[in-house]
Amino acid sequence: MIRNEWLEQIHEPILEPDRPICDPHHHLWDHAESRYLLDELLADTRSGHNVVSTVFVECSAMFRADGPAPLRPVGETEFVNGVAAMTASGGYGEIRACAGIVGFADLNLGRRVGEVLDAHVRASPRFRGIRHAAGWDASDEVRNSHSQPFRGMLSDERFREGFAELGPRELSFDAWLYHPQIHELTELARAFPGTTIVLDHFGGPLGIGPYEGKREAIFAQWRRDVAELARCDNVFAKLGGLVMPINGFGFHGRARPATSDEIVEATSAYHRHAIESFGPDRCMFESNFPVDKQSCSYAILWNAFKKMVANASEAEKSALFHDTAVRVYRL
């Protein structure tokens, strides 16, 4: 649930307000307890930073109500393409929201998923790839991904048959999983070196359930796994999605939301290692809104990102905040 009054407790001057930003990861949905559509997105992107474009990532919103089940996720692309057309009209300022669309197609369909991918492409010229979330953990205290993955899905023969349909269509794969699964993604990336893979949210370092209180040991393993993954040239990294409740920092449960300095203190080690491993040309900052809005506001989050790379060169900053995302998603 988004608590705007709670978030209003913290305000900061906007750092580098003119720097162009492409936010390559946000959602749109209309749930009974949480509405995040164009109005809410614009309220955040207009809160001080210079967000010039965004990429929408699937969240099971606005699926078709009928028709063949495998094709129902195309409804989400149709919906988001309409939102993108609204801002492309210029009637909402210079921002081009949802300039790229990452939808959902069930790769467990195997080769049959090609029909679904083609339907997405027909539904929008902005369609760039899919995310089939693979976040799975044996603990009942960790919620598995909304796409109902199973253990070892990334290695499954049928899943890989479906994955093989992405490359010939020049479609990318956004990978959402948990940190114990990063090595599985490395194996997948090596098996398909011609397919662009984007690691979402640092590979999901968990800090709840059986992982609570083990941050140092988990970070050490995460560092090794990320460094190995970064050796795959077809993998890119999204830097964000680290202040969700599952990460265990607890910002969402406090009386006051996080400041940018607190976010920097808690998460900068992850950012530094990812940038060192992948390089700025393969990294992109992301908001993961409105999910990360449970812990801080949009303005605060991007201030934190800017503080983390304050000493970077201008070329590095341009890559991290805009150019990598634009290149990867072909905006």
Task: Identify any residues that bridge with 34 across adjacent strands, giving them in sequence order.
Answer: 31
Helix (H, G, I), strand (E, B) or coil at 248: coil
Tell me: the pLDDT tens digits for 202-226? 999 999 999 999 999 999 999 999 9
pLDDT at res. 285: 98
Q: Do strands 50-57 and 34-36 pair parallel, antiparallel, or not at all (unpaired)?
A: unpaired
Tell me: the pLDDT tens digits for 5-64? 999 999 999 999 999 999 999 999 998 888 999 999 999 999 999 999 999 999 999 999
pLDDT at res. 33: 84
Contact 92, 53 (CB under 8 A): no
pLDDT at res. 32: 84
Q: Whole-model pTM?
A: 0.97
Token pair listed for 107 = 């790769």
Helix (H, G, I), strand (E, B) or coil at 13: coil
pLDDT at res. 127: 98
CATH superfamily of 4-328: Metal-dependent hydrolases (3.20.20.140)
Give the residues of the chain that fall short of pLDDT 50: none
Q: Where exactly are the structural domains of the chain?
A: 4-328
- Please report, in angstroms and rounded to a whole number, the separation of the first and last CA atoms in the chain: 31
Strand segments (E) across 217-293: 235-239, 283-285
